[in-house]
């Protein structure tokens, strides 16, 4: 098991572990992370700016993390039972 050979991985943050998973997946599949492509980064930045403008125009339309998390978990549970 890799964790036995590399025990320092247990001390890594969840974020760093997920980053490693993504990098290994990209290496194994030969695929580049599309979010790192300049044109995709620009589109993501533009989308984020648009969402921020919407929020500033009407903050009541925002969803809290607690609400979003509950909705995502509910959707995940529903898709598991199909």
What pLDDT does 82 receive?
66
- pTM recorded for the entire structure: 0.45
Taking the chain (82 residues) in runs of 10, the rounded mean pLDDT of each run is 88 91 84 77 92 93 91 88 71
Separation of alpha carbons 78 and 48, rounded Å: 28
Using a 10 angstrom Cβ sphere, with 0-12 exposed, 13-18 middle and 19 or more buried, the burial of residue 72 is: exposed
Tell me if 28 sits within 8 A of 21, measured CB to CB: no
Q: What residue spans define the domains of the chain? A: 1-31, 35-80
Alpha helices in 1-82 (DSSP H): 2-5, 14-29, 38-57, 65-80
Tell me if 62 sits within 8 A of 55, measured CB to CB: yes
What pLDDT does 23 receive?
85
């Amino acid at each position: 098991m890799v964790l036995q050979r590399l025990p320092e991985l247990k001390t890594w943050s969840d974020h760093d572990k997920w980053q490693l998973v993504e990098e290994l997946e990209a290496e194994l599949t030969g695929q580049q992370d599309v979010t790192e492509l300049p044109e995709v980064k620009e589109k993501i930045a533009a989308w984020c700016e648009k969402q921020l403008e919407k929020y500033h125009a009407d903050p009541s339309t925002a969803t809290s993390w607690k609400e979003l998390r509950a909705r995502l978990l509910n959707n995940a549970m529903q898709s598991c039972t199909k």
